């Protein structure tokens, strides 16, 4: 495929069978645990043609070689396994709760040391990288929506010989391609916007480094955290409309963030697309759009915020994000969530419904807080 094609084209065109008479247009779901001898796959724990098509698309979008895993956490764990025994991981103080919890467990076992950094402060991140082995970045962060200057921290980490990883789940490759900013490894929970329909769990790792690619492939094969072919097919099918979904969702997210900012039941809004958001300038520089996730705090206590989440009719009160349907939840309902995330912080994942219908639902539920 031509490398100069835009992401909007790549999502549609890559990962297709060869254009031969009567060849299928879509890659089939290949259900076979073993393959005729003599080829590179041989056994289905190594690879599968349906995953390979998915890997081709995400690799083309992110600018590296992709490997699909059974879940986002499967991908995360494979990357954390690259850290040598006793090594140090520098990680954004706000990051996906599963990543934070896994790092706490690894630290408790004496496997790694962990340093938490405010990821929006590039100088402080750079300082913390001295003597570290791996820098784990999320931007925008989950759920606080802080923005990290990827080029600045990747350059500082590179100088110190620290491997840089970016969990790009929130922004996604339509809007942010960390490898272009000097990041070594990109991780996705493809469960979210890549697959986009809240019907599969999948993870992806992308890197330009052949050695890391080989180590991750070997780890996936031997640990066995492989995706199912049907899940890979669904994710690939979802990716075909990624560009359209992202366009619609983020336009609505900006509109809702703006209206939320003006609502008397809302005490704060974080969305990098708002001109007065602390992350706006950096986001404008390194992203092609501001994404579909909005974080806001409501008046009242945790119980009131929880009741607010139950009052919406169209918007679904559920965890996760990046689907076609709008979801929201109070993040602190999870015991794993960090205690410095405000009790009433609501994470809103904006889907592709009509924005006026979404606002009508949101505003009636907010009015109940007053």
Ligand X SMILES: *Cc1c(COP(=O)(O)O)cnc(C)c1O
Chain positions contacting ligand X, by CB under 6 A: 71-73, 76, 96, 98-99, 138, 142, 167, 169-170, 189, 191-192, 201, 203
Indicate the Cα dihedral angle 354, 355, 357, 361, nearest 10°: 140
Shortest CB 153 distance to ligand X, Å: 17
Cβ closest to ligand X, residue 59 vs residue 72: 72
Shortest CB 200 distance to ligand X, Å: 9
Asked if 97 and 123 count as a contact pair (C-beta separation under 8 A), the reply is no
Q: 357: closest CA among 294, 311, 314? A: 314
E-strand spans in the chain?
65-69, 87-92, 112-117, 134-138, 163-167, 185-189, 203-207, 266-270, 293-298, 316-317, 327-330, 345-349
Shortest CB 42 distance to ligand X, Å: 28
Cβ closest to ligand X, residue 143 vs residue 265: 143
In the chain, DSSP finds a helix count (H) and a strand count (E) of: 12, 12
Cβ closest to ligand X, residue 88 vs residue 139: 139
Cβ closest to ligand X, residue 245 vs residue 263: 245
Shortest CB 329 distance to ligand X, Å: 12
Shortest CB 165 distance to ligand X, Å: 11
Cβ closest to ligand X, residue 194 vs residue 352: 194
Beta-carbon-side half-sphere exposure of residue 54 (alpha carbons within 13 Å) = 34
Q: 297: closest CA among 320, 265, 321, 272? A: 265
Cβ closest to ligand X, residue 263 vs residue 332: 332
Residues 6+ apart with CB under 8 A from 131: 88, 160
Shortest CB 269 distance to ligand X, Å: 20
Cβ closest to ligand X, residue 265 vs residue 293: 293
Question: b/e for 192-221, b at 16 or more Cβ within 10 A?
Answer: bbbbbbbebbbbbbbbbeeebbebbbebbe
- Secondary structure of residue 232 in the 3-state scheme: helix
Q: Which residue is nearest to ligand X (CB)?
A: 72
Shortest CB 320 distance to ligand X, Å: 7
């Amino acid at each position: 495929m031509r490398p100069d094609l835009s992401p909007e084209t790549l999502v549609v065109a890559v990962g297709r069978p060869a254009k031969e008479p009567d060849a299928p247009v879509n890659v089939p779901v290949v259900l076979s645990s073993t393959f005729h001898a003599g080829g590179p796959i041989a056994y289905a724990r190594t690879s599968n043609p349906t995953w390979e098509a998915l890997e081709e698309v995400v690799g083309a979008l992110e600018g590296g070689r992709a490997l699909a895993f059974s879940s986002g956490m499967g991908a995360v764990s494979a990357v954390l396994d690259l850290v040598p025994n006793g090594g140090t991981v520098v990680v954004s103080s706000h990051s996906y709760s599963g990543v934070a919890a896994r790092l706490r467990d690894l630290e408790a076992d004496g496997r790694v040391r962990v340093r938490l950094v405010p990821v929006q402060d590039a100088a402080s991140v750079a300082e913390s990288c001295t003597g570290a082995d791996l820098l784990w970045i999320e931007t925008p962060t989950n759920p606080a929506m802080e923005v990290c200057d990827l080029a600045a921290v990747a350059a500082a980490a590179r100088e110190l010989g620290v491997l840089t990883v970016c969990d790009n789940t929130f922004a996604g490759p339509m809007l942010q391609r960390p490898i272009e900013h000097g990041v070594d490894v990109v991780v996705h929970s493809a469960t979210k916007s890549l697959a986009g329909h809240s019907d599969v769990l999948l993870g992806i790792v992308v890197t330009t480094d052949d050695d890391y690619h080989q180590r991750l492939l070997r780890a996936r094969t031997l640990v066995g955290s492989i995706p199912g072919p049907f899940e890979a097919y669904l994710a690939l099918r979802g990716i075909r409309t990624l560009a359209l979904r992202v366009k619609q969702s983020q336009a609505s997210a900006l509109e809702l963030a703006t209206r939320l900012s003006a609502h008397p039941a809302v005490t704060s809004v974080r969305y990098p697309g708002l001109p007065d958001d602390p992350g706006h300038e950096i986001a404008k520089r390194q992203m092609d759009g501001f994404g579909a996730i909005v974080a806001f705090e409501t008046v009242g206590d945790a119980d009131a915020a929880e009741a607010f989440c139950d009052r919406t009719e169209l918007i679904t009160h559920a965890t996760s994000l990046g689907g076609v349907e709008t979801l929201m939840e109070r993040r602190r309902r999870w015991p794993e969530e960090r205690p410095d995330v405000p009790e009433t912080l609501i994470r809103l994942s904006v889907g592709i419904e009509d924005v006026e219908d979404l606002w009508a639902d949101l505003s009636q539920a907010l009015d109940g807080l007053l």
